[in-house]
Amino acid sequence: MLGYIFKRVLYMIPTLFGMSLISFLIIQLPPGDYLTSMIATMSDSGQAVDPAEIERLKEIYGFDDPFYIQYLKWIWGILSRGDFGRSFEWNQPVADLIWARMGSTLVISLLSLLFVWVVALPIGIYSAVRRHTVGDHIFTFFGFIGLAVPNFILALILMYVAYKYLGQSVGGLNSPEFAEAPWSLAKVGDFLAHLWIPIIIIGASGTAALIRILRANLTDELHKPYVITARAKGLPEYKVILKYPVRIALNPFVSAIGWVLPHLVSGVTITAIVLNLPTAGPLLFRALVSQDMYLAGSFILLLSALTLVGMLLSDLLLALLDPRIRFN
Amino acid sequence: MIKLKRRTFLAGSSAALILPALPVAAATYKEADILKDKVSSGALPSVGDRLPETPLVVKPFESIGKYGGDWRMALVGGGSLSMLFRYQAYEPLLRYTPDWSGVTLNVAEAFEANADATVYTIRLRKGMRWSDGHPYTTADVKFWYDTVLTDKRVAVTSQGHWKTAGKPAKLEVVDEQTFKVIFEAPNGMFPLQVAWANNDHTTRCPKHYLEQFHIDYNPKADELAKQHGFESWIAAFQSVSGFQNDNAFFLNSSKKPCLNAWMFTIAPGENTERAVAERNPYYWKVDTEGNQLPYMDRIVYQMVADPQVLLLKAMQGEIDYMDQYIATPNNKSVLYDARQQGDYDFCTLTSTEANVMNFIFNLNHNDETKRTLFRNRNFRAALSMALDRQALIDAVLVGQGAPAQPSIKENDPLYSEQLAKQFTEYDVEKANAMLDEIIPKRDDQNFRLDEKGRRLTIIFEIDQARAIFLDLFQLVIPMFQAVGIDAQMRTMDRSLWETRVRQGRDFDATAHQFGANGGIAAMLDPRYYVPTDSNAMYAPAWQLWYLDRNNASAEEPPPETKRQLELYDKLKATSDPAGQQAIMKQILQGAADNFYVFGISQPPDGYGIVKNNMKNITRTMPSSFGWPTPAPTMPEQFYKV
């Protein structure tokens, strides 16, 4: 087992390198660079840009260097001093920017993940066990709506409801009057009052998908001979279902954990933009739009690393959960 | 000779005014309560000591205000900090008058030119201080001149208005308050350009703060730079001084002293959700009763990622003033309905743009056949007449506007009917007849063929973010097809568009907006009338020739354009407004004759929202970046009841 983990971690190193190279390349692929987008903004506000100035700026920012030199500079900074470079747009170290947003990102993501599991697991099991009952149809109906409606539309609708009927300050995680206040009971209350919208929205499609998957998997399992045997041997119904079929039906979740980690960071970008959440997604989005390459590159690298770690975790969990899986 | 002192009296009476010094005795100066507390605790000197000997006296627009309150604003996205010139950072030596008819004194106490506009003598206010209490003197101007304008190592900015004949002006410091700017050749536009939104650096370069980052002033600047995470002192100096671009200037700038009414305590970048600027205790303006400005305590900016969120916030009444991002024609009805709930009302922003959309053909096309064709004035005229402008206005602009070419607006003294109205009539037959003379041959699908026998396909390359252009082009393309032109629209991402269109020569045509429709603005930004800078996308090679004759990609323009450019040089050298106007008229006549670009309609006026408890805000003002709406109406005298 330990050997297996060690081998897996070892494999991750070249993979990460490849990913960093590819992500850096992808950021460089679209025409133009941070300067082009900066000039675009400048000329939008009515300023003329002198071509000589552009050349000078290119030199200053180091855009004159060929691709591999830029990459090597960046990756060497990371390896030698943990320096992910500076964001052009924010004029701050990339690491500071990302960390500043990690707290709220994790709170929101973990809470919505919790929301998804708490809601989806019981409903999924119920739907599978009581297939084609009224309850199942109702849940299925809402499940399909949750799957079909894009998150950001749901976000706009809920925000409008909050604005129109609840008189709440929309967007962000705090009302303006609390934004600068130190943490207090009132501020926590205000924070919680803002939290339900993002959690429902971010959770909605995940919940729906999970219900569907669980229902389908469990339905397959419920008619297998070992379930019938268990029942025939007089095991109580809850034990029959929870102990064996549900455990097997959970496999797809666990193998999907690999995707959950990066998803936590960047999964709900559009929703976060619409809701004006101070999470990492909108930052990544802006970095891509403005071709702020070190910020975007570091983000993608971080996401790749999280994916790899998540994959490892899910493989290990899978092995724990399902003894049929072997290491090789 | 510019007599600015006289003009201050003449400047329109409908808005907040700057008055020549009133006999306000120093003892009677009053200040905000927050500052009183600090004075009594000894943290600040008394208000009389903080103000210059002759503070600028501002006559409030409606009434003397009262102190206090937050001005609640918002910024969208990360890339728009030049907006801050509009709200809190417009303090050049001279500022534009509220009606944009001229300039008036601001930081400068006197600003005088000699007869041929080669020498400007500028006097600063004695006893004026930066926001940290350090005196603001000619030493700061000299520092800027030495380290930013003329230092080749850090030179990051062109500052065209400080140059004549390609050479920077000389700076002569007379005493602590007086300096002279000496130009090689006449530079009559200098005062007008100094007042342009973000042009003037001389009031934004605090020597006592920035010198620590410059190697000539601090031998240890390199180590300091490394501490701050920069590679060298050059990078650090560029970044901290921030003159390379507007974003850099404001980012993380809370430690940098300023002359503005409010100074950042949380600057953009230091926090990605909010920025806060608090009153500058050393602000150098008072109202007519001797109250030190600004009236409002703080400006609080929420950083919003998406305009839709800002729209909801405005409707909820969380925004005190907003004319950007959300003030679009589409949103007007939504905002109108929510006026009561949000407790705000509209203000009118008069349009200053040349046209809603300009059709720009690449007159320097790399393809010779197309280049010759596009340069044919009759070809462009025929296409202009193929447009049913009224239909476009009715369908896309919700009926607001009147057919016009990119031009000067009608009530402006520079108005030219020929420029505004030529070839705006919708006449397909005439257009076809004109095209038949130039490119008579057609193919089996009835499309015209060019000289080389290829189907004449014109691809309009459009930035996909400009929704209104896309709507207009849906209707425009069939109109061009009706006269046998295979017009196509290709939308693309902005950065590709910048590369292909603004920096390339291979595009056929594009469409763009902006430019100016009157007065001073048209003289400073004549992009659609004469190709003087990179915004003149119809003539990339000619504008380059004007800027830099030795550039490898530059091309000598035809004589009629050259004559216009010579006139523009002459305009820049002229200092009296009447003379400027006479020359500008000639340039505009040249624009009418050359007919470089054509458009659809004069842009309709825009709007902004103003919270009902905000006072002293002018309800009608120009909308522009150069006249950074609403800064020339002096936000320091805004107040809340």
SS3 B483: coil
Mean pLDDT of B354-372: 95
What does pLDDT average to over chain A?
80
A77 touches chain B (CB under 8 A): no
- Å from B130 to nearest chain A CA? 24
Question: A102 CA to chain B: closest CA distance, Å?
Answer: 13
* Contact yes or no for B277/B261 (Cβ under 8 A): no
Give the chain B residue nearest A52 (alpha carbons): B158
Q: In whole angstroms, give the CA distance from residue A125 to residue A56.
A: 64
Whether B256 contacts chain A with CB within 8 A: no
Phi/psi zone of residue A315: left (φ > 0), alpha (ψ -120 to 50 degrees), beta?
alpha
Note whether A42 contacts B: Cβ–Cβ < 8 A. yes
Q: What angle do CA B570, B572, B576 make, to 5 degrees?
A: 90
CB contact under 8 A, B82 and A41: yes
Residue (of B358, B634, B310) closest to B514 by Cα position: B358
What are the residue ranges of helices labelled H in B482-576? 494-497, 519-524, 540-547, 559-573
User: Residue A37: what pLDDT?
Assistant: 67
**What is the Cα–Cα distance from B141 to B257, expressed in whole angstroms?**
14
Give me the sheet containing B56-59, strands edge to edge: B17-19, B56-59, B285-287
CB contact under 8 A, B312 and A160: yes
B128 pLDDT higher than 80: yes
In tens, the pLDDT along B461-490 reads 998 878 889 999 999 999 999 999 999 999
Residue B487 corresponds to which tokens in the numbers above? 């017009």
Please name which of B373, B386, B387 lies closest in space to residue B437, comparing C-alpha atoms: B373
At A51 the pLDDT is 65
| pLDDT reading at A104 higher than 90 | no
- A141-153 confidence digits (pLDDT tens): 888 887 888 877 8
First to last CA, chain A: 10
3-state secondary structure B222-234: HHHHHHCCCCCHH
Q: What is the pLDDT of residues A20-31, one digit of tens each?
A: 888 888 777 776
Q: Confirm if B565 and B541 have CB atoms less than 8 A apart.
A: no
Question: Is residue B345 predicted with pLDDT exceeding 60?
Answer: yes
For testing contact with chain B, the best of A276, A279, A291 (most B CBs within 10 A): A276
pLDDT tens readout for residues B534-593: 889 999 999 989 887 888 888 999 999 999 999 999 998 888 889 999 999 999 999 999
**Report for A65-74, B218-227, B239-248: range of highest mean pLDDT:** B218-227
Judge contact between B273 and B267, C-beta under 8 A. no
- Mean pLDDT throughout B620-629? 90
The arithmetic mean of pLDDT across residues A109-132, rounded, is 87
Does residue B11 register a pLDDT over 50?
no
Confidence band of A262 (pLDDT split at 50, 70, 90): confident
Other CB atoms within 10 A of residue B482 CB: 14
> Is the pLDDT reported for residue B14 higher than 60?
no
% of residues, chain B, pLDDT over 70: 95
Residue A287 has pLDDT above 80, yes or no: yes
Q: Three-state SS across chain A? A: CHHHHHHHHHHHHHHHHHHHHHHHHHHHCCCCCHHHHHHHHHHHCCCCCCHHHHHHHHHHHCCCCCHHHHHHHHHHHHHHHCCCCEECCCCEEHHHHHHHHHHHHHHHHHHHHHHHHHHHHHHHHHHHHCCCCHHHHHHHHHHHHHHHCCHHHHHHHHHHHHHHCCCCCCCCCCCHHHHCCCCCHHHHHHHHHHHHHHHHHHHHHHHHHHHHHHHHHHHHHHCCHHHHHHHHCCCCHHHHHHHCHHHHHCHHHHHHHHHHHHHHHHCCHHHHHHHCCCCHHHHHHHHHHCCCHHHHHHHHHHHHHHHHHHHHHHHHHHHHHCCCCCCC
Residue A75 touches partner B, C-beta closer than 8 Å: no
Sorting pLDDT into bands at 50, 70 and 90, what band is B22?
A: low
Neighboring chain B residues of A41 at a CB cutoff of 8 Å: 79-80, 82, 247
pLDDT at residue A28, rounded to an integer: 76
A10-15 contacts at long range (C-beta below 8 A, 24 or more positions apart): A12/A308, A12/A312, A15/A308
φ, ψ of residue B35 to 5 degrees: the values are -75, -35
Within 10 angstroms of residue B76's Cβ, the number of other Cβ atoms is: 19
Map out the domains of chain A with their CATH numbers. 16-83 (no CATH), 102-326 (1.10.3720.10)
Q: Do residues B57 and B298 touch, judged by C-beta distance below 8 A?
A: no
Instruction: Write out chain A residues lying below 8 Å of B72, CB-based.
Output: 176
Specify the pLDDT at position B24: 52
pLDDT of residue A307: 82
Distance from CA of A212 to the nearest CA of B (A): 32
- Selecting from A49, A97, A274 the residue whose C-beta is nearest the C-beta of B309 gives A274
CA dihedral of residues B7, B10, B12, B16 (deg, nearest 10): 70
Q: Whats the size of chain B, residue-wise?
A: 641
Contacts of A171 in chain B (CB under 8 A): 304, 309, 312-313
Q: Are A256 and A313 in contact (CB under 8 A)?
A: no
**Measured distance CA(B475)–CA(B179) in Å, rounded:** 57
pLDDT of residue A44: 60
Say which of A32, A91, A176 has its CB closest to residue B498. Answer: A32
Q: What percent of chain A has pLDDT over 70?
A: 88
Tell me which of B199, B243, B316 to substitute to probe the interface with A (most A C-beta atoms closer than 10 Å): B316
Interval B260-275 mean pLDDT = 89
Output the pLDDT for position B1. Answer: 40
Q: Which residues of A35-48 are buried (b: 16+ CB within 10 A; e: fewer)?
A: bbbbbbbbbbbbbb
For the residues A242-269, what does the mean pLDDT come to? 75
B341 part of contact set with chain A, CB < 8 Å: no
Q: Burial code of B461-479, b = ≥16 C-beta within 10 A, e = fewer?
A: bbbeebebbbebbeebbeb
Q: Is a pLDDT exceeding 50 seen at residue B13?
A: no
Q: pLDDT at position A82, please?
A: 81
What lies within 8 Å, CB to CB, of B359 at 6+ separation is B383, B384, B460, B509, B511, B597, B598, B599
Tell whether the model's pLDDT for residue B190 goes beyond 60.
Answer: yes
Higher pLDDT, B563 or A168: B563
Minimum mean pLDDT among A252-261, B103-112, B575-584: which range? A252-261
pTM, rounded to two decimals:
0.81
Residue B598 phi/psi, 5-degree rounding, is -135, 160
Best mean pLDDT range from A11-15, A249-253, B307-311: A11-15
Q: Is B464 on the interface with A (CB under 8 A)?
A: no
B155 part of contact set with chain A, CB < 8 Å? yes
ipTM of this complex prediction, to 2 decimal places: 0.71
Of A31, A41, A51, the CB nearest to B79: A41
- Whether a cis peptide bond, with omega within 30° of 0, leads into B294 is yes
Residue B477 is predicted with a pLDDT of 96
Q: Angle A63-A296-B248 (CA atoms, 0-180°, nearest 5)?
A: 60
Instruction: Count CB atoms within 10 A of the CB of residue A59.
Output: 11
Mean pLDDT, residues B438-451: 93
Q: How confident is the model at residue B367 (pLDDT cuts 50, 70, 90)?
A: very high
Residue A295 is predicted with a pLDDT of: 87
CB–CB contact B495 A101 (8 Å): no
Mutate to test the interface with B, among A27, A44, A180 (most CBs of B within 10 A): A44
Q: B114: number of CA atoms within 13 Å, CB side?
A: 11
Chain A residues whose beta carbon lies within 8 Å of the beta carbon of residue B245:
38, 42
Report the pLDDT averaged over residues B67-71: 93
B153/B331: higher pLDDT? B331
With b for 16 or more beta-carbon neighbours within 10 A and e for fewer, the B383-397 pattern comes to bbbbbbbbebbeebb
A284 touches chain B (CB under 8 A): no
Decide if B80 touches A, using CB distance below 8 A: yes
Query: How far is the C-alpha of A311 from the C-alpha of B499, rounded, in Å?
Result: 40
Residue reference for tokens 């309150």? B69
